[in-house]
Structure 1
């Protein structure tokens, strides 16, 4: 079993439950942080001391307070940790249930498991920890059921997500173009954006923009 684990969680009630679960698994060293910046510092120091962590368990959302933060969410913590210790095993423990975002965590950030917070989540977390230790891949808690091989969720790019988000907010074609120009997102011409929207309609078999947004919401893309 893992010997040294770092837990990044800002809610005491949840962190206590997670730490208790880790103790039941006979993990020797358990450290807990409430801030992502602090978590990264601990990872760095552990590496410098030649006593690296074996596992990181992190939430995605962290509430803002008076303390200035460079890393504001679990996604950013994982990305930063990957720079210094890419081989570190990573489990996300979060309430987030959008399939696209979860798949992005696996595909882009290389997490090993995703456990959804819920009624039986601590037991699910313990199962996930054991599976990660045994080098199983792409582990999901049992309440999350979707196919990792679904190309409609893998091939969608961040550019498409930006278009879908703006469409969902009621932006028309010209407005999307202007917004993309402000953000230096390319291509930002109305013709290119319209072609992309039409491609998305074909891809998802949507009859119109409203239908497209409805489908995108069902997939958790917006």
Structure 2
């Protein structure tokens, strides 16, 4: 089992519950922090002292307060930590359930597990920790098991996401074309954008643009 684990979570009640779950697994060294910056500094210090943390468990979202922070999300925290300790195991423990965002965390940050917070999530978190310790398998909450298998999420490009984002902001095709031209995004002709929107509607089986945007939001694309 892991010997040294750090938990990053801004709510005391959740921090306590996660720490108790780790103690039940007989993990000898457990630390926690309420801010991403503090978590990062603890990990950096442990690394410098040749006594690194083996596992980071972090939330995705942190409530802003009076304190200025350099790292403001679990995503930013993991990205920063991976630069100084690429081999650290990482689990995200969050209420965020948007499929595309979750998949992108596995693809871009190489996280090892994603557990959805809920009434019975602590036992699932414990199982995830045990599985990640013994294997390289990527672990997901049972209700999110489809995320890494959803082929529709594999074929969405950055261009599509930007297009959907502008549609969600209420821009019409001509306005999107101007935005794309100003940003150097191609293709940026109105007809090309119209065709792309048509393909997206077919792809997601959306009845119209409003339905398309709603589906994109459900997936966490925008």
Provide the TM-score with structure 1 as the length reference: 0.91
Q: 1-side partners of 2:39 and 2:159: how far apart?
A: 31
Report the RMSD for the aligned CA atoms in angstroms.
Answer: 1.9
Q: Report whether the alignment pairs 1:17 with 2:1.
A: no
Q: 2-side partners of 1:51 and 1:120: how far apart?
A: 33
Match of 1:170 in 2: 170
State whether residues 132 and 138 of structure 2, in contact with CA within 8 Å, keep that contact through their aligned partners in structure 1.
Answer: no
State whether residues 22 and 126 of structure 2, in contact with CA within 8 Å, keep that contact through their aligned partners in structure 1.
Answer: yes
Offset at residue 214 of structure 1 (A): 3.4
Q: 1-side partners of 2:17 and 2:68: how far apart?
A: 27
Provide the TM-score with structure 2 as the length reference: 0.91
Offset at residue 29 of structure 1 (A): 0.8
- Higher deviation after alignment, 133-142 or 194-203: 194-203
Offset at residue 196 of structure 1 (A): 2.9
Indicate the SS of the match to 1:7.
strand
Q: 2-side partners of 1:204 and 1:18: how far apart?
A: 38
Match of 2:154 in 1: 154
Offset at residue 80 of structure 1 (A): 0.8
Question: Per-residue CA shift, 1:67-119, capped at 9, x if unaligned?
Answer: 11111100000111111111110000000001111101111110000000000
Q: 2-side partners of 1:71 and 1:161: how far apart?
A: 24
Query: Any unmatched runs of 5+ in structure 2?
Result: none
Offset at residue 185 of structure 1 (A): 5.7
Question: Per-residue CA shift, 1:135-192, capped at 9, x if unaligned?
Answer: 242211123241423221122123322221221232212333444466x362372434
